[in-house]
Structure 1
Amino acid sequence: MIPNYNERAATYKVTVNQLNKKLQLIGWSRLIVLVISATCFYFSRDENGIPFLIGAILSLGLFSYLINIHFKTKRKRQVALTYLWLNNSERAFIDESKPYYEDGNEFLDTKHPYSFDIDLFGPHSLFQHLNRTSTVIGSEKLAQSLLQTQSKESLNKTQEAIQEISEDLEWRQAFQVYARLGKDSQEIRNYIDHWQDSKQSISILAIILAFIIPALGLTSMILLWQTGKVYWFNVGVFLFTANMLLFGAISGKIRKEIGKTERIGAALLAYSEMLQLIENRVWKSARLQEIHSKVHSKNQAASALLKESSRIYENMDSINNGMAVFMLNGTIQFHVHVFRSLVKWKKNHRESINQWIEQIAEIESLLSFSNFSVNNPEYTFPNLQNESIFFEELGHPLLSKSIRVSNSIDFSQERFVILTGSNMSGKSTFLRTLGIGIILSNAGSVIPAKSANFSPLPLLVSMRLSDSLEESTSYFFSEVKRLKLIIDNLKNGPAFVLLDEILRGTNSDDKQNGTIGIVEQMVRLGALGMIATHDLEVCETTNLHPTYLKNKCFEVEIRDNDLFFDYKLRNGICQNKSATFIMKKYQVI
């Protein structure tokens, strides 16, 4: 059952309004307490001002408490706003097919065996349809899942993990919310990757002085208060200056550290919150149990360790506050101690952090497929028990369900299909539908089919090619190179092959003979798959290999001087043509 995203969005809208009112109340309370504190300090100068002084100190304590409450409430509002955005966006995606995550255009590779041909990445692509990742590495993992072939054992584990995550909407959305709040970026990812090579250090002398000078400074202030002698004030000023000089000697390292990215603290906090969600759950599926086992370091939870590093970075970020730098470092060498904590943290945990983040990426990828499953409850997981490929009522997931036409096809008997049909009859769309069915099956996902049997196979495609001025290659030569790639891969083992109207860049005789030759190669090399063609003579090849090849087609009818397509797959060779009719109708000929 598809979740009621409208209802959930309405609930979070109420929560946001309540938190806005609470923040206003806290703001006014802070102002009132500050005024009271200032008033008490003013009257504490009187002879009987001790009660006012106590009141001022208590008021400052209350003010600090309210600041803490303010930041916690502000964080809760950020979380609630993200939940509101998430549910509104998911509703719009289902109702209007309006994608709201990145399209993965950076993963587009025209030389990949199928990603460019199948509309895998880019605007309105399969990746964008599936994508629910917010971290850079999560996006990379999802793309990798769509570009690889898993073993049957691995596919079983992936299917189980997707099913388990899909059962808990609250957990899934909490993970998405924290990932979104982290505002991860490639800059942050690159910075963390370089931790392995980090050689930061702070000298022993600087550490000793960072303890001794502030202690001497505090001692001088106590002596000044007890004796009232100006001498101790002068000593205090000297020690204050010494503190600032020591800070100045190390401030370059600190600024270099935080200057690389301003959002590292928020990203680490988000990583921590996501890892805590993984740690706090008892998982049933083997894949999720493996992930859970990898989010600890030296018997410590990774979430707690990353939360510690997040606090360190947040404290370091105060170096950009001039008043804080002056007061905190002139008295207690605050930023020197913070930097020392960072150096120590990196030394102890820098080798583990990439492993922790990789587990977040695994979950984000699985979560994307789980969300796809939940939003499409009629979709099914392919059965992996049979050594065959069969799809019952397979449709294209990027087409609206209201106009989608599904078809069944079985490759367990005839392993390779020659597909014919007139222009616009649906040949290319069906090839892409098959391609997406294979890709999703290889990823362990549900597919838009009533039922399916699947055996993992690599996918090889030649559908969308172009010439290249940069490489000085013609369209024909580009196609020949792609076909050579397919043949070479088939020599290494079986694969599922999709070919759409190949050899269009040459004359009709060469095209026909070449296509027949490629079909013969498919038979010799044991390929499964389909080739779409307009050359009906190619269909006669099935007579030579009746147990391996099969003819199927899409037909068109002319009704009331117009074309009618039903997009239903039929057995046999296409009998009707439409190109001449269309050109005459639009007065091209």
Structure 2
Amino acid sequence: MQRDAIARVERRWADLPAPWQPPVSPDHPYAFDLDIVGRASLLQLLNTTATRMGRETLSTWLLSASPPAEARARQGAVAELAPQLDLRQDLEHRGRTAANDEADPAPFLAWAEGPDSLSGQTWLRWYAWLGPAALGILAAASYFGLTPYPLWAIPLLLNLAVGATAGRSAYHTISAVAADHRAIAAYAGQLELLTTAPFTDAHLQRLRATFGEGAASAPAMLRRLGRLASMAIPPSSMLYLPIQALTLWDVHVVFALERWQQQAGSQVRAWLEALGTFEALAALAGLSHDNPDWVFPQLADANDRLVATQIGHPLLRGDVRVHNTVTLGPPGTFLLVTGSNMSGKSTLLRSIGVNTVLAQAGSTVCAEALSLPPVAIWTSVRVQDSLERGVSFFLAELQRLKLVVDAATQANEGGSLRVLYLLDEILQGTNTAERSVAARQIIAYLVQQGAIGAVSTHDLALADDPRLEPLAHSVHFTDTVGEGPDAPPMSFDYQLRPGVATTTNALRLMRLIGLDLDEATADPAPVRG
């Protein structure tokens, strides 16, 4: 755990455990464009959870916006958990003791919340005691010569018949619990830690109250269940059949499990969901602890714009990260980001997007200050063509932009959150003339629908469009050409400046990588056949 923690701080992605990949649609509004999932992603950076419930809770928070009140409640919990390093590491360590930290609790929950399989059969409850007792008595009588015939064979055969009849139901019940009894014990250890921690935050106290107290508390009940599950004998054991024939052991184990089910089964889901929430909060708290200069954002319905002071990209190391101050909104305007290649436009858009995701999850953000309204993030940053689906790059970009436009329309009609859009190099897959017209129409429509956002481009004609100029707040990045033999040929400071970019660098980049071609090649002589 310590090695992983250091690797997270230093952003050494190759040294971190392989990232868990939640099921995410290819059309997700922002997951892939903003590196929320996958390798070198926000989820990989944050994920210190040890259970499937924790992973699913954390990924849900990162992949969908939470209501502001819920995000603010998490902020208080994160603030209390952040300095409690020992508690967070102990929680993770106890979770890792499970035999399979990817174990799906669904079968266990289905059993806990499902119907009894044997408890309603009163005759079986009586026979489970009387059958083995009769077998023992008659076997002893036969041994001492008190019976002329081996009468003990009668209850033995009956035991085998009853065991076979009840065996299928017993097997399913025991399998649902016994297969994960080590995981159940791990859950109990985690819950025991959380029920004894002296939390003062109201959100943490409410979560802890879910676990109950005393002998009926979640850790006590799960430990009891773990002991019951460990009593089951595997069918593959050589002792399984003799013990079943002599004692109907499976039937007794199932009756004990179903008594537990009747007492606590309806509470199990709430326990595991609360545990997953604790783990996800601990993950956000770890990010806050590792980055003490990050701040909690101000998330409020009354905000009509996103205002970020010295915002940086959370996935970059601190020594290479550059911070900028930026505003998106109010409605009726958009941020136009221009600049030459490699100057930092895409990184700025991702910085805004990733920090917005963190803000709405209840985390600290990589900025000196951030205020924003609740928003639905939509991006078009990393568009890909698809040979399998027969989709060209340009068509893929159009399909993506259609999703953004539809989301803005729905939001304006009152059906969802205000859209925050981040469009990188909009419509770069077509010619300049048509790109300018189409981009202008899309941007104007998004502005009209009340969405707020940013558009990056190095098409300076778009910045000069008289119909967009009144709506645009223009900023730019630039590059510096080195002078002198020891100076780098080109450098970037990644600092945002007001206005539209005045320089380009495509031809200089060509020369830097060795594509310094003669002008004559632009009009080559005909090739003779």
| TM-score interval, normalised by the smaller of the two chains | 0.7 to 0.9
Report what 1:553 is aligned to: 476
Report what 2:118 is aligned to: 201
Q: Deviations over 1:416-446 (max 9, x none)?
A: 2111111111111111111101111111101
2:386 paired with 1:468: yes
Return the offset for 1:282: 4.4
The 10-residue stretch of structure 1 (105-114 or 440-449) with the greater mean CA deviation from structure 2: 105-114
Distance 1:544 1:242, change over 3 A: closer
Specify the code of the residue in structure 1 equivalent to 2:513. Answer: Y
Specify the code of the residue in structure 1 equivalent to 2:188. Answer: S
70, 76, 90: which one aligns with 1:154 = 70
Q: Secondary structure of 2:423's partner?
A: strand
499, 503, 526: which one aligns with 1:572 = 499
Contact 1:107–1:143 (CA<8 Å) still a contact in 2? no
Q: Deviations over 1:92-148 (max 9, x none)?
A: 433562453452323333201111111111111111011111222221111110122
Return the offset for 1:584: 2.3
2:422 paired with 1:507: no
Specify the code of the residue in structure 2 equivalent to 1:213. Answer: G
Return the offset for 1:178: 2.0
Q: Secondary structure of 2:385's partner?
A: coil
Return the offset for 1:223: 6.6
Q: Secondary structure of 1:530's partner?
A: strand
Q: Deviations over 1:25-73 (max 9, x none)?
A: xxxxxxxxxxxxxxxxxxxxxxxxxxxxxxxxxxxxxxxxxxxxxxxxx
Report what 1:425 is aligned to: 343
Distance 1:432 1:95, change over 3 A: closer
Q: TM-score w.r.t. structure 1 length?
A: 0.77
Report what 1:586 is aligned to: 513
Return the offset for 1:463: 1.0
Q: Deviations over 1:550-583 (max 9, x none)?
A: 1111101111461111111111111221110111
* 1:28-67 map, 5 Å: none
Q: Deviations over 1:453-476 (max 9, x none)?
A: 232222111111123344443322
The 10-residue stretch of structure 1 (263-272 or 466-475) with the greater mean CA deviation from structure 2: 466-475
Report what 1:76 is aligned to: none
Contact 1:411–1:528 (CA<8 Å) still a contact in 2? yes
Root-mean-square deviation (CA, aligned residues, Å) is: 3.0
Specify the code of the residue in structure 1 equivalent to 2:194. Answer: I
Alpha-carbon separation, structure 2, partners of 1:369 and 1:304: 28
Return the offset for 1:199: 5.5
Alpha-carbon separation, structure 2, partners of 1:232 and 1:277: 62
Return the offset for 1:210: 1.2
Report what 2:312 is aligned to: 395
Alpha-carbon separation, structure 2, partners of 1:568 and 1:221: 91
Report what 1:533 is aligned to: 457
Return the offset for 1:284: 2.6
Contact 1:394–1:433 (CA<8 Å) still a contact in 2? yes
Q: Secondary structure of 2:185's partner?
A: helix
Report what 2:278 is aligned to: 363
The 10-residue stretch of structure 1 (195-204 or 432-441) with the greater mean CA deviation from structure 2: 195-204
Distance 1:561 1:381, change over 3 A: closer
121, 126, 130: which one aligns with 2:42 = 126
Specify the code of the residue in structure 2 equivalent to 1:381. Answer: F
Report what 2:362 is aligned to: 444
378, 400, 407: which one aligns with 2:324 = 407
Specify the code of the residue in structure 2 equivalent to 1:467. Answer: D
Alpha-carbon separation, structure 2, partners of 1:402 and 1:410: 24
Distance 1:542 1:189, change over 3 A: farther
Q: Secondary structure of 1:532's partner?
A: strand
143, 150, 153: which one aligns with 2:59 = 143
* 1:37-436 map, 5 Å: 86-95=1-10, 97-98=12-13, 100-184=16-100, 188-195=104-111, 196-198=113-115, 200-201=117-118, 203-219=121-137, 228-229=144-145, 231=147, 234=150, 239=155, 242-259=158-175, 263-296=179-212, 300-323=216-239, 326=242, 328-384=243-299, 387=303, 388-411=305-328, 415-436=333-354
The 10-residue stretch of structure 1 (472-481 or 87-96) with the greater mean CA deviation from structure 2: 87-96
Contact 1:141–1:361 (CA<8 Å) still a contact in 2? yes
Contact 2:68–2:360 (CA<8 Å) still a contact in 1? no
Return the offset for 1:526: 2.2
Q: Secondary structure of 1:432's partner?
A: helix
Return the offset for 1:539: 1.4
Contact 2:309–2:369 (CA<8 Å) still a contact in 1? yes
Q: Would you say how many aligned residue pairs link Structure 1 and Structure 2?
A: 500
Alpha-carbon separation, structure 1, partners of 2:306 and 2:49: 30
Q: Secondary structure of 2:501's partner?
A: coil
The 10-residue stretch of structure 1 (235-244 or 413-422) with the greater mean CA deviation from structure 2: 235-244
Return the offset for 1:244: 4.7
Higher-helix-fraction structure: 1
Q: Secondary structure of 2:19's partner?
A: coil
Q: Deviations over 1:461-493 (max 9, x none)?
A: 111112334444332222222222212222214
Contact 1:243–1:333 (CA<8 Å) still a contact in 2? yes
Q: Secondary structure of 2:375's partner?
A: coil
Specify the code of the residue in structure 1 equivalent to 2:419. Answer: A
Alpha-carbon separation, structure 2, partners of 1:502 and 1:393: 25
Alpha-carbon separation, structure 1, partners of 2:6 and 2:62: 25
Identity of aligned residues (%): 26
Contact 2:178–2:232 (CA<8 Å) still a contact in 1? no
Specify the code of the residue in structure 2 equivalent to 1:351. Answer: S
Alpha-carbon separation, structure 2, partners of 1:107 and 1:134: 18
Higher relative contact order (CA 8 A, sep 6+): 2
356, 368, 372: which one aligns with 1:454 = 372
Q: Deviations over 1:154-184 (max 9, x none)?
A: 2210100111222322221222122212244
Q: Which runs of 5+ in 1 are unaligned?
A: 1-85
The 10-residue stretch of structure 1 (306-315 or 563-572) with the greater mean CA deviation from structure 2: 306-315
